[in-house]
C-alpha cells in the first residue's frame, strides 16, 4: 500500500490521520513462520513539518506460531510504532535522516508497517514466560512433566572446574 504525500495537500503544521486495513505478510524468526493479524488496522498520521513530512505509523497486532521452546501454539500481542521523515527537497539532509521507505514523496506503508512490527518482536516468541521447553535428549514436553532421561551428568571436559576455589568473597 502506497500513499502519495503530495496528494494530501497539507500546509505547514497540518495533520492527516487515517486507519488503513492492511494484511501483513508472515514473519520468519529462527526459521519458524508466524502469522500476523492486525484487527484494528494500521494508524497512519502524516504531519507537514518544516522541510518535509513526518509519518507516524502505529499498530496493535497478534502474532501466531510455534513456541520457540516447546513448539506448542504461541500467541503474542504486540504494539509497534515507527516514525519516518520525508524531505521535500533533497539538499541539506543526510542519508541516515531520510526514510528508505519513501521515494519521490510516495510512502510504502506496508514496508513501514512490517519494519515496525519486526523491530517490536522479541528475539524468541514463547507460549508462556515460564515455558520449560523440550528435553534435549528425548524431546518430551517438560511443561507436561519430567521425562525418563533423568538429570544430565557433568561433562568430563568441565570436571576440572569443580575443584576451582575463587576465594572467600566470591560466591561459588
Mean pLDDT of the chain: 89
- Inter-residue long-range contacts of 90-98, CB under 8 Å, 24+ positions, other chains counted: 92/51, 93/51
pLDDT average, residue stretch 31-38: 94
Question: What is the reported pLDDT for 158?
Answer: 85
Q: What is the pTM of this model?
A: 0.77
Question: What is the reported pLDDT for 80?
Answer: 97
Question: What is the reported pLDDT for 144?
Answer: 93
pLDDT average, residue stretch 104-109: 91
List the helix and strand counts (H, then E) for the chain.
1, 9
Question: What is the reported pLDDT for 63?
Answer: 97
Question: What is the reported pLDDT for 100?
Answer: 85
Is the per-residue pLDDT at 68 higher than 90?
yes
Question: What is the reported pLDDT for 58?
Answer: 97
> Which has more pLDDT, 152 or 3?
3
Residues 112-167: tens digit of each pLDDT: 999 999 999 999 999 999 999 999 889 999 999 988 887 777 778 888 888 888 87
Is the per-residue pLDDT at 83 higher than 90?
yes
Question: What is the reported pLDDT for 114?
Answer: 95
Report domain extents, the chain.
2-120
What does DSSP assign to residue 170?
A: S
Question: What is the reported pLDDT for 171?
Answer: 55
> Which has more pLDDT, 102 or 63?
63
Residues 86-99: tens digit of each pLDDT: 888 766 666 666 77
* 118 phi, psi to nearest 5 deg: -60, -40
Give the residue among 84, 78, 106, 107 at the shortest CA–CA distance from 97. 84
Amino acid at each position: 500500500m502506497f500513499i502519495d504525500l503530495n496528494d494530501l495537500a497539507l500546509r505547514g503544521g497540518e495533520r492527516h490521520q487515517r486507519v488503513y486495513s492492511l494484511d501483513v505478510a508472515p514473519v520468519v524468526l529462527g526459521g519458524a513462520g508466524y502469522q500476523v493479524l492486525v484487527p484494528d488496522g494500521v494508524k497512519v498520521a502524516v504531519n507537514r513539518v518544516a522541510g518535509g513530512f513526518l509519518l507516524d505509523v502505529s499498530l496493535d497486532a497478534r502474532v501466531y506460531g510455534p513456541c520457540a521452546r516447546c513448539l506448542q501454539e504461541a500467541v503474542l500481542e504486540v504494539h509497534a510504532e515507527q516514525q519516518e521523515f520525508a524531505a521535500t527537497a533533497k539538499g541539506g539532509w543526510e542519508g541516515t535522516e531520510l526514510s528508505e521507505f519513501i521515494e519521490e514523496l510516495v510512502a510504502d506503508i506496508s514496508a513501514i508497517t512490517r519494519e515496525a512490527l519486526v523491530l517490536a518482536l522479541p528475539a524468541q516468541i514463547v507460549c508462556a514466560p515460564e515455558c520449560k521447553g523440550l528435553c534435549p535428549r528425548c524431546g518430551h514436553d517438560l511443561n507436561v512433566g519430567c521425562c525418563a532421561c533423568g538429570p544430565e551428568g557433568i561433562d568430563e571436559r568441565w570436571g576440572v572446574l569443580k575443584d576451582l576455589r575463587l576465594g572467600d568473597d566470591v560466591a561459588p
